Amino acid sequence: MSKIALVTGGSRGIGAAISTALKAAGYTVAANYAGNDEAAAAFTAETGIKTYKWNVADYDASKAGIAQVEADLGPISVVVANAGITRDAPFHKMTPDQWKQVIDTNLTGVFNTVHPVWPGMRDRKFGRVVVISSINGQKGQFGQVNYAATKAGDLGIVKSLAQEGARFGITANAVCPGYIATEMVMAVPEKVRESIIAGIPAGRLGEPAEIARCVAFLVSDDAGFINGSTISANGAQFFV
Ligand code: CAA
């Protein structure tokens, strides 16, 4: 079985933690990134993990990037659709462009990432798909109509993929992180962030490594009968 893993948005934040956890678990990892060349180069220098630049919102670019990864490393057996952006605004102020950017990257980006690897997984009768959703796809969030729509959409994607992939030995699951100490959460206005942390019974933000460990479990052989599920890791902030 090939042990090649692709992590989108894999050079920073939660994605970087996932890439390094999968490397530690014995995978050869390709970390996709969209634009921050400096961060990607630093990540490769630090971890030895190869980075690949393409925009997940672009189907043709994703297909070409994935073909390059497979030419370099071999067939992808694990795909982690992690890349995501926020364009927060209350709905009455949200622009069509803010809506579209988030839908294109976070939701269509999952299609663009999984679709090119799916036929190979079916042919080889094995695959692991993990989509990084969010607590805010489960509960909604003031200022995130766009983002919450995509993260709720992720749950529909994995439940459907699970049913289509199961007889081919493919699992598709989601992880719903709560508020994790990343640049994305640090970008929230400080006062708002303080009130968010006050609402987390654990009394702290999560760590990227705590999400990475969920992913490492879901892609492992031990998780072969877990399919179409969601792991929530949010410090008891919300229960489905
Ligand atoms: N609930 C209820 N009311 C709220 C509110 C909330 N959560 N947040 C703001 N409001 C109210 C304000 O009190 C204010 O009311 P008044 O006009 O009566 O004073 C009104 O809404 C407008 O607020 P602002 O003036 O702050 O509006 P804004 O346009 O400047 O910004 C915002 C609003 C962009 C949504 C800002 O509040 C914000 O960034 N909120 C954080 C959203 C958030 O949690 N994002 C998560 C990012 S991390 C992530 O996405 C990762 C993940 O998966 C968890």
What residues contact 126, with CB distance under 8 A and at least 6 apart?
Answer: 1, 77, 168, 169, 170
Does ligand 1 come within 6 angstroms of the Cβ of 67?
Answer: no
Token pair of 52 as six digits = 């690949």
- What was the pLDDT predicted at 2? 72
The CA 92 to ligand 1 mean position distance, Å, reads 12
Does ligand 1 come within 6 angstroms of the Cβ of 133?
Answer: no
* C-beta of residue 76 within 8 angstroms of C-beta of residue 120: yes
> Model's pTM, two decimal places?
0.96
Report the nearest-CA residue for atom 20 of ligand 1.
Answer: 90
| Cα–Cα distance, 222 to 4 (Å, whole number) | 18
Domain spans of the chain, in order of start: 4-233
The CA 143 to ligand 1 mean position distance, Å, reads 5
- What was the pLDDT predicted at 96? 98
- Superfamily, domain 4-233: NAD(P)-binding Rossmann-like Domain (3.40.50.720)
Report the nearest-CA residue for atom 36 of ligand 1.
Answer: 143
Q: Return the beta strands (E) in the chain as ranges.
A: 4-7, 28-33, 50-53, 78-81, 127-132, 170-177, 230-233
Does ligand 1 come within 6 angstroms of the Cβ of 147?
Answer: yes
Buried b / exposed e along 29-60 (16+ C-beta atoms within 10 A): bbbbbbeeeebbeebeeebebbbbebbbbbbe
Does ligand 1 come within 6 angstroms of the Cβ of 142?
Answer: yes
Amino acid (one-letter) located at 157:
I
Ligand 1, atom nearest to 143 Cα: 35
| Cα–Cα distance, 48 to 16 (Å, whole number) | 12
Mutate to test the pocket of ligand 1, among 14, 82, 87, 88 (most ligand atoms within 8 A of CB): 88
Ligand 1, atom nearest to 185 Cα: 48
Low-confidence stretches of the chain (pLDDT beneath 70): 1
Report the nearest-CA residue for atom 39 of ligand 1.
Answer: 188
The CA 58 to ligand 1 mean position distance, Å, reads 30
Task: Write out 90-107 in H/E/C secondary structure.
Answer: CHHHCCHHHHHHHHHHHH
Report the nearest-CA residue for atom 2 of ligand 1.
Answer: 142
- The predicted-structure confidence for 163-184, as pLDDT tens digits, reads as follows 999 999 999 999 999 999 999 9
User: Catalytic residue positions?
Assistant: 147
What residues contact 196, with CB distance under 8 A and at least 6 apart?
Answer: 179, 188
Report the nearest-CA residue for atom 30 of ligand 1.
Answer: 89
Ligand 1, atom nearest to 93 Cα: 29
* C-beta of residue 183 within 8 angstroms of C-beta of residue 217: no
The CA 192 to ligand 1 mean position distance, Å, reads 7
